Chains A and B, each alone.
Chain A
Amino acid sequence: MSESTAAATHAEPLHETSLGIPNDKFGMWALIGSECMLFGAFIATYLIYVGATNDVEGVTPQEIFDIPFTSVSTFVLLMSSLSMVLALAAIQVGEMRRFRIWSLATALLGAIFLSGQIYEYTVFVAEGMTMSTSPFTSAFFVLTSFHGVHVAVGIFMLLALWALSMMGRLPQSRALVVENVGLYWHFVDVVWIVIFTVVYLIPSEL
């Protein structure tokens, strides 16, 4: 049985909803809207403490941040958003092989980003910057690690999609599932776009 025929046998009609839009996509956007507030609170907390403890505790962003390294990590995460949208475009036209390549590439790029973040943490801890060093370091670790957890969840979902596709259980007709995972992944990318500027680049100018 060809892949497109297999996809046809798994076809699931879109359920009628009172809003005329899929419930799960609506739910994903509601989740994203609420997560904006969550990350907004973390960023606000960080910005309060970065100014309050800059000179007191002896650990300043300028001293500890490795901007070239974080810039490469940022580039990797941005490119993962590109591969994610290419994966979605592929499954929407039924090109399952291309979908699997791009979704796996997205998960791989996410894993590279996460590895970079873990490496960055080990360097910070080795230099004496831990969670309890100052309110600034606490706010930094909470904000960035929470984002890292979101990336890890995204990688898990992408690998699950890839595995489902390999088993023939993710046909073109279920592209909406990929779209929802994609929305989550892009949101994680958007949050990092803000964190990179507000946490890494701007504090040195204050």
Chain B
Amino acid sequence: MSDPQDHSSHPGPAEYVQIGAILAVATGIEVALYYADAGPITIPALLFLTLIKFSLVVFWFMHLRFDSRLFRRLFFVGVVAALVLYTATVSTFYFGP
């Protein structure tokens, strides 16, 4: 297990700024897609861009990529539980009695 106080493997300020720029560009593309009305690919493209932004913040800014695996498990248990909760709620609402 990595030392939680060892920050040598973390990215530096220059890399953080690059990630910030990617996040800004991805948001710009999302807004452009909203106005462009690209038909059936709009929603998948928006969700894909959201996933990229989500991953960049979680893995780089929150250091999940470099930290203990236990933190990764804690976080993704929450994410999966949220998805299960969402699926169950929507299913109950639409397919229930």
Q: Residues on A close to B: CB < 8 A?
A: 14, 19-22, 25-26, 29-30, 32-37, 39-41, 43-45, 47-48, 67-68, 71, 74-75, 78-79, 81-82, 84-86, 89, 92, 176, 182-183, 186-187, 189-190, 193-194, 196-198, 201-202, 204-205
Number of residue pairs across A and B with beta carbons under 8 Å?
145
B33 surroundings in chain A (CB, below 8 A): 201
A204 surroundings in chain B (CB, below 8 A): 34
What separation, in Å, do the CA atoms of A48 and B38 have in the docked complex?
A: 25
B85 surroundings in chain A (CB, below 8 A): 37, 40-41, 44
| Besides A40-B83, A44-B86, 13 new A-B residue pairs in contact (Cβ under 8 A), listed by A number | A33-B79, A34-B78, A36-B75, A40-B82, A41-B89, A44-B89, A48-B90, A78-B20, A82-B23, A186-B61, A187-B62, A193-B53, A194-B50
User: Contacts A36-B75, A36-B82, A187-B62: A71 and B27 contacting too (C-beta < 8 A)?
Assistant: yes
Count residues on chain B whose CB falls below 8 Å from chain A CBs: 48
What separation, in Å, do the CA atoms of A175 and B93 have in the docked complex?
A: 46
